[in-house]
Amino acid sequence: MFRLSRMTDYAVVVLSQMARSDHVVFAAPDLADATGLPLPSVSKVLRLLALGRLDRTRWYLRLCQFTSCLGFVAVIAGWTTTEVGRQPWTVYGLMRTADSVTPSLTGSDVLISLLMYVVVYLVVYPVGLWLMLRLVWRGPVPSDDASPIEAGRPKSPIEALASVTPEGAA
């Protein structure tokens, strides 16, 4: 585990405890007792939360910066776990993975499959990038609709649908 600062670790523990608890109101001494953290540190984290300045503190922004890649790490870790467990014909400790390989699969078959994937991605990626850039270069499309924007919002999706649906059509 990497450590950004002690306050960052404290904030993560306090927020985790708050998320786990069913209480609506949290007091610093209660959270300090539940987490085993020093009371002044818990008080500082709660004060930053209450003042709405947590997102402006340097240590919190650093934490957010370093945790932005955790979704990708979770996807890769899940994929690895799935693929390692996806060997039903191989019994751990009794049969080696090398012995359970399909005998009809040759190295050239694997190479052809890999090359086909590479070719498809070499076509799909530039075309998709070109299409997105073309949309950006064109800019916003002018609207032919001359009606003014109406203020207000419907209270529910049903009301929005009723305002678009003509009478008697539903």
pLDDT digits (tens, 9 = 90+) for 117-146: 999 999 999 999 999 999 999 888 776 666
Indicate if 62 and 11 belong to the same structural domain: yes
CA 164-169-170 angle, to 5 degrees, is: 85
Q: Residue 155's pLDDT band (boundaries 50, 70, 90)?
A: low
Same domain, 113 and 62: no
Are 12 and 67 in contact by the 8 Å Cβ rule? The answer is no
DSSP letters, 8-54, are HHHHHHHHHHHHH---SS--HHHHHHHHT--HHHHHHHHHHHHHT-G
Are 69 and 2 in contact by the 8 Å Cβ rule? The answer is no
Question: Within a 10 A sphere around the Cβ of 15, how many other Cβ atoms?
Answer: 14
Residue 14, in any domain of the structure = yes
Domain annotation covers residue 40: yes
The mean pLDDT of 79-90, rounded to a whole number, is: 72
Q: Is 70 exposed, middle or buried (0-12, 13-18, 19+ CB in 10 A)?
A: exposed
Answer yes or no: is 93 within a domain.
Answer: no
Residue 38 near residue 32 (C-beta atoms within 8 A): yes
Q: How many domains does the chain have?
A: 2
| Alpha helical stretches, state H, the chain | 6-20, 28-35, 39-51, 58-67, 70-84, 107-138, 157-164
Residue 53 inside a domain? The answer is yes
Whether this prediction's pTM lies above 0.85 is answered by no
Looking at per-residue pLDDT, the higher value among 142 and 74 belongs to: 74
Q: Where in the sequence is the domain holding 51, given as residue range(s)?
A: 6-67
Query: Average pLDDT of 90-100?
Result: 72
pLDDT tens-place string over residues 14-58:
777 777 777 667 778 878 887 888 888 878 878 877 777 777 778
Query: Does residue 166 lie within any of the structural domains?
Result: no
State which of 67, 90, 119 marks the end of a domain. Answer: 67
Task: Examine residue 155 and state whether it is found in any structural domain, yes or no.
Answer: no
Residue 154 inside a domain? The answer is no
Same domain assignment for residues 12 and 62? yes
